[in-house]
């Protein structure tokens, strides 16, 4: 407990007992330690913040690079798709033309076969002598 004495001027002076003085010193040391810990935590948080800022910057740069690469790949793929479609269209035209030629060729073959058969029938019917069979 604090003991109060009056001085000659009439002002009160507070004198601390040794146990109260020890309590105040303990509180002062605890407060100083808490301030020191808080300062250390602030410094650590500042370091962490700087590290996170560097990491964010690096990741942003990587993301930008990946986006550029993806845009380039998509552009290239679009070009390749256009070329593939043009080739597909060209091949479809060629296939259509070949089908038309095949139909004409088959029709011509059928006509020649019909003519040959007609000639064979005509030769058989006009032949009065025994005819040798026609080669096949």
Domain layout of the chain by residue ranges = 12-89
Which pLDDT score, from 0 to 100, does residue 11 have? 57
Please give the span between the terminal C-alpha atoms of the chain, in angstroms, as a whole number: 141
Answer for the pair 19, 7: CB distance below 8 angstroms, yes or no.
no
Q: What's the CA gap between 37 and 30, in Å, rounded? A: 10
- For 93-119, how does the pLDDT look when each residue is reduced to its tens digit (9 = 90+)? 999 999 999 999 999 999 999 999 988
Predicted confidence at residue 136, as pLDDT, reads 58
- In the DSSP assignment, the letter for residue 8 is T
* Tens-place pLDDT, residues 22-68: 888 999 999 999 999 999 999 999 999 999 999 999 999 999 999 99
Whole-angstrom Cα distance, residue 77 to residue 68? Answer: 14
pTM: 0.47
| pLDDT, position 6 | 45
Distance of CA 117 to the CA centre of its chain: 69
Within 8 A by CB and 6+ apart from 120, the residues are 134
């Amino acid at each position: 407990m604090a003991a109060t004495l009056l001085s000659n001027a009439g002002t009160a002076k507070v004198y601390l007992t040794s146990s109260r003085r020890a309590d105040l010193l303990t509180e002062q040391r605890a407060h100083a330690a808490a301030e020191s810990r808080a300062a250390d935590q602030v410094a650590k948080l500042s370091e962490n913040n700087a590290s996170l800022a560097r990491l964010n910057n690096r990741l942003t740069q990587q993301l930008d690079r990946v986006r550029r690469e993806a845009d380039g790949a998509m552009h290239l793929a679009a070009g390749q798709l256009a070329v593939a479609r043009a080739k597909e269209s060209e091949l479809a035209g060629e296939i259509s033309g070949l089908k038309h030629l095949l139909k004409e060729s088959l029709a011509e073959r059928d006509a020649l076969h019909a003519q040959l058969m007609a000639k064979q029938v005509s030769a058989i019917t006009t032949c009065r002598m025994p005819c040798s069979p026609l080669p096949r």
